[in-house]
Structure 1
Amino acid sequence: MSEHINDTTDTISPQLDVALRLARAQAMLVRRLDTTLGGHHGISFSDFMLLFYLHRAPGGRLRRVDLAERQGLTASGVTRTLLPLEKIGLIERQQDPRDARVGYAAITATGRELLANATVIAQQTSAELLRSCPADQLAALSSVLGQIAGMGPSNS
């Protein structure tokens, strides 16, 4: 039996190399942001993103399905994420006055205040992690990542 079962694993495409590096970088970035945000504000990076998306939404609220899409979660995954934030007063549930079947998650004043403070920590941590990247490369990387995620300027 040959020592190399499949020689195609020895060389990979540039696209797979980017995907592997991106996954590793994302895991490291999330771990670091979870640690710093958790230590300073008691929230995870996922919680931070949820508050960030709600804050940027018109009226500070989004339907759960829209929030799920932005976070790359299922609707039930978002619901599980929202429950603890609702219990501590960072978000609240709102019903659509025209359609009782439609529910929204909305950021509260307490959530906005925590987000403002947490944003300082998230920006400092991000700057530290990306300190060796020139600004033009950051802009290009942001553009490419936005394309991968299907994001435009209006839905970041």
Structure 2
Amino acid sequence: MILSLSLCTYQTISFYDFWTHKSVRGEGKAITLDNVGFDEIPVYIRGGSIIPLRKESANTTAELREKNFSLVVAQDKDGYAEGSLYLDDGESIEGKSSEIKFVWGKNVLTANGTFGYQSGLDVESITILSEKGNSTISVKESLDGPFQVQNKTVRRCRPA
């Protein structure tokens, strides 16, 4: 069965289709999506968000904890975005943890925060969504400490 759905967008806010990464500009009115099947879920990322995603799925949570990450940077109209990632071992009650804040601005991604849990995991790619077009940067950057990605180069940052 096919559905027709309406979603309301806010004026001046960019949204991106999660599956296609196509930009949808908020105009303060409803947008109608036609021919949406029951097996499709329309999901949109608000501009200004950074979403960490696992690169691969797994059959168990223990197996999933060993999978690296990619980042989806959905820029707002000013080219800015931010997001966060919490990591721990998933088992200990009072275990060590990392709380990582990602900030994108002026074509630079900065990762800072607390890095108490040494996960051994990496960010393998960064997909940058923009109203002007999308791009993907391949990186291999550890989530065990701060880093910065600028103009397709990676610089390690030393903790203060």
Question: Comparing both structures, which one devotes a greater share of its residues to strand?
Answer: 2
- Whether TM-score is above 0.5 comes out as no
When the two structures are superposed, what TM-score results if normalisation uses the length of structure 2? 0.23
Question: Comparing both structures, which one devotes a greater share of its residues to helix?
Answer: 1
Q: Using CA pairs below 8 Å that are at least 6 residues apart, which structure has the higher relative contact order?
A: 1
Larger Rg: 1
